[in-house]
């Protein structure tokens, strides 16, 4: 039997993620949306590219959930994206209802799936998916850190005029204004960033990373999708191929980093069982304070959830 991934939300992020999954032949994809015709039309268009792109994975678009049954991974991108001037948190009320509805509909056909949440505000939507699904924390986590660190890696590569492949960047915390990029754990070919760039240049990169989402929203009047789709597909790949890859993900903490009952961006080991381990690193007092602030902001949103 072929591996199946469901992507809910056939908008910018969802459709691009579906496209990348089938083009890489990672799995067949069920692409679901509430808008009639959109998942069907985008899927048909993608399949008509298959002979040229040379992939045999299938993408099936639908408004119903029958096609999703037996999925190993479910990626949730359904919901509204940001408009200029909006913070991710402004989306909480609308997207909470959407994510809860999606989880209720997808779970009966795929009770053992791993849920990867993309919808914003990310950390709060992970909590909605966890509460509604009743799944253990290993199986419900969110995509943000891979995107945030990819953005930081691009800014580092651009500043030093080196290959993106040589860069490694480290970002902790919530997916929002309290994100905590960590330059001392960011490297180029193993060399710590502070040995390569001035403090001012690093600070500019950190700020641009933190504001990376808003920079795109201001240009496009909607949120980014190419890099977000790449990021979530890297996570899907790590799970499906049991890669045990260390990636920054929004994970539900149970005592790690001195925090409990909160989703926060931390390095985790991603494999077939989902979050197989939360990797703890020693933080400076300033970094601890920044992470605590991030957790406080996430908890504030948990407080207004209705599920």
Ligand X SMILES: NC(=O)c1ccc[n+]([C@@H]2O[C@H](COP(=O)([O-])OP(=O)(O)OC[C@H]3O[C@@H](n4cnc5c(N)ncnc54)[C@H](O)[C@@H]3O)[C@@H](O)[C@H]2O)c1
* CA 27 to chain CA centroid, nearest Å: 18
Q: How far is the CB of 178 from ligand X (least distance, A)?
A: 15
Separation of alpha carbons 282 and 17, rounded Å:
34
H runs (alpha helix) in 135-273: 145-160, 199-210, 212-220, 226-240
Catalytic residue among 175, 210, 269, 299: 175
Residue 168 annotated to the active site: no
Separation of alpha carbons 67 and 6, rounded Å:
9
* CA 38 to chain CA centroid, nearest Å: 23
81 or 181, CB closer to ligand X?
81
Q: How far is the CB of 200 from ligand X (least distance, A)?
A: 27
Q: Site for ligand X (CB under 6 A): how many residues?
A: 35
**Does position 152 bind ligand X by CB under 6 A?**
no
Q: Which of 5, 20, 55, 81 binds ligand X (CB under 6 A)?
A: 81
Residue with tokens 């209720």: 104
Candidates 96-104, 127-135, 155-163, 261-269: pick the segment binding ligand X (CB under 6 A): 96-104
Q: Taking CB under 6 A as the criterion, which residues in 228-247 touch ligand X?
A: 228
**Does position 281 bind ligand X by CB under 6 A?**
no
- Residue 64 phi, psi dihedral angles, 5° rounding: -105, 165
Separation of alpha carbons 188 and 152, rounded Å:
12
Contact footprint for ligand X (CB under 6 A): 8-14, 32-35, 77-82, 91, 95, 98, 101-102, 118-120, 122, 143-144, 147, 175, 222-225, 228
Catalytic residue positions, numbered: 175
């Amino acid at each position: 039997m072929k591996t199946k991934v469901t992507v809910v939300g056939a908008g910018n992020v969802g459709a691009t993620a579906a496209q990348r999954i089938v083009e890489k032949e990672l799995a067949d994809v069920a692409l679901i949306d509430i808008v009639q015709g959109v998942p069907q039309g985008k899927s048909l268009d993608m399949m008509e590219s298959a002979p040229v792109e040379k992939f045999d994975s299938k993408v099936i678009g639908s408004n119903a959930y029958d096609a999703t049954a037996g999925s190993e991974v479910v990626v949730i991108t359904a919901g509204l994206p940001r408009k200029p001037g909006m913070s991710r948190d402004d989306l909480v009320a609308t997207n909470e209802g959407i994510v809860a509805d999606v989880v209720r509909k997808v779970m009966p056909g795929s009770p053992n799936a791993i849920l990867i949440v993309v919808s914003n505000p990310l950390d709060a939507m992970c909590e909605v998916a966890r509460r509604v699904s009743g799944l253990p924390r290993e199986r419900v986590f969110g995509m943000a850190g891979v995107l945030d660190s990819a953005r930081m890696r691009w800014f580092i590569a651009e500043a030093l005029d080196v290959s993106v492949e040589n860069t490694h960047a480290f970002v902790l915390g919530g997916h929002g204004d309290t994100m905590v990029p960590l330059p001392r754990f960011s490297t180029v070919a193993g060399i710590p960033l502070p040995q390569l760039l001035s403090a001012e240049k690093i600070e500019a990169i950190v700020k641009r990373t933190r504001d990376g989402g808003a920079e795109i929203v201001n240009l496009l009047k909607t949120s980014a999708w190419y890099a977000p789709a790449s990021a979530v597909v890297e996570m899907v790949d790590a799970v499906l191929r049991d890669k045990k890859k260390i990636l920054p993900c929004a994970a539900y903490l149970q005592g790690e980093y001195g925090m409990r009952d909160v989703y926060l961006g931390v390095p985790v080991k991603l494999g077939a069982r989902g979050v197989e381990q939360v990797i703890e690193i020693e933080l400076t007092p300033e970094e601890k304070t920044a992470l605590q602030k991030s957790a406080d902001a996430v908890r504030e949103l948990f407080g207004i959830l209705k599920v």
